[in-house]
Amino acid sequence: MSPNPQNHCQYLQKLSEKKAEYIKFEGDEKITWCNGCGDYGIQKALERALVLENLTTRDVALFFDIGCNGNGSDKIGGYTFHGLHGRVISAAAGACLANPNIKVIAAGGDGGTFSEGINHLVHGVRNNYPMVFILHNNENYGLTIGQASALTRRDQPMNGSPDGVVTDPMNACEFVLGLKPTFVARTFSGDIRHMTQMLQLALRHNGFAFVEVMQLCPTFNKATSTAWFEERMRYLQNLPDYDVADLHAARRAAEDLENEIMMGLLYQDKTRPNFIEMLPSRAERKTTLIEEVDYQDIGEFMEELR
């Protein structure tokens, strides 16, 4: 993107004002991603978005799926959970329901999310759970050394399909837009500032915020490099007439993954309540489920069983 220099200075100034909180999010575990991996940028953008939204490590619960992205789970501050492959949305949804006062963020790769976990994605979007979901779309199963996922481009030779992938890839945003979502954005792992902006918007959204990050994987995804993306990316913010509330326009914008790839906030519906707000059983409650947990002594009953 071509940042407005004045806005860019304000962005850097705000980050430096919040340096102490930012350092707490950074963590001190050894990084194990390959050189040039897009996961570095995604983690930085997430840390920046959290501090710019005035969230501290005590305000967030971060859920990580299995995969290269999941190796970030011990490299960031906050309450973190490393789940089973493809199941991260269901674990994160449980946290949303138990304690709506924390900000829940989940992350998963294209492999787990669009194969094993696609059912969880569908119902996460449909139920409009109040959470942010970050799709790390590196177009392959990186952690298991480069097999094709449902999002790998056609004809790409991959480990496990050396003659090339014979099917067309799914389009992540197009798929989610078919589920009547309330928030869909697309961004790129090589543009930390744009990712930060998209994640800030997602953190402010009331409902399921789906953010696709088109991620560089220089080790196994040879089809799409930084130069490849830079040639093709187009930013929606440069289209003054684009209406983020128009679902049909969003579907048209999302469909091209080859020539002009649209980046930015594709769609947002601010009118729909989130899942918890729709539950009649929670309507009059001032407490959260986690505050309502009651410990009972069952020793007497256990004695009867002896």
Chain residues in the site for ligand SF4 (CB under 6 A) = 33-34, 37, 39, 68, 138, 142, 217-220
Q: Which two tokens stand for residue 159?
A: 């480990």
Q: Output the smallest distance, CB 217 to ligand SF4, in A.
A: 3
- CA atoms of 219 and 250, how far apart (whole Å): 32
Between 206 and 219, name the residue whose CB sits nearer to ligand SF4. 219
Between 39 and 174, name the residue whose CB sits nearer to ligand SF4. 39
Q: Output the smallest distance, CB 216 to ligand SF4, in A.
A: 7
Between 22 and 33, name the residue whose CB sits nearer to ligand SF4. 33
DSSP lists the bridge partners of residue 158 as 161
Q: Output the smallest distance, CB 30 to ligand SF4, in A.
A: 13
DSSP SS3 for 247: helix
Q: Output the smallest distance, CB 70 to ligand SF4, in A.
A: 10
Between 37 and 96, name the residue whose CB sits nearer to ligand SF4. 37
Q: Output the smallest distance, CB 226 to ligand SF4, in A.
A: 13
Between 188 and 267, name the residue whose CB sits nearer to ligand SF4. 188
Distances (CA, A) of 20 to 17, 75, 77: 8, 17, 12
DSSP SS3 for 30: coil
Q: Output the smallest distance, CB 145 to ligand SF4, in A.
A: 7
Q: Please state the separation of Cα 149 from the chain's center in Å.
A: 18
Between 129 and 220, name the residue whose CB sits nearer to ligand SF4. 220
- CA atoms of 169 and 212, how far apart (whole Å): 15
Quick check: 150 and 174 in contact, CB under 8 A?
A: no
Q: Which of 208, 225, 200 is nearest to 132 (CA)?
A: 208
CA angle, corner 288, sides to 209 and 77, nearest 5? Answer: 55
Say if residue 161 is exposed, middle or buried (CB neighbours under 10 Å; 0-12, 13-18, 19+). Answer: middle
DSSP code, position 209: E
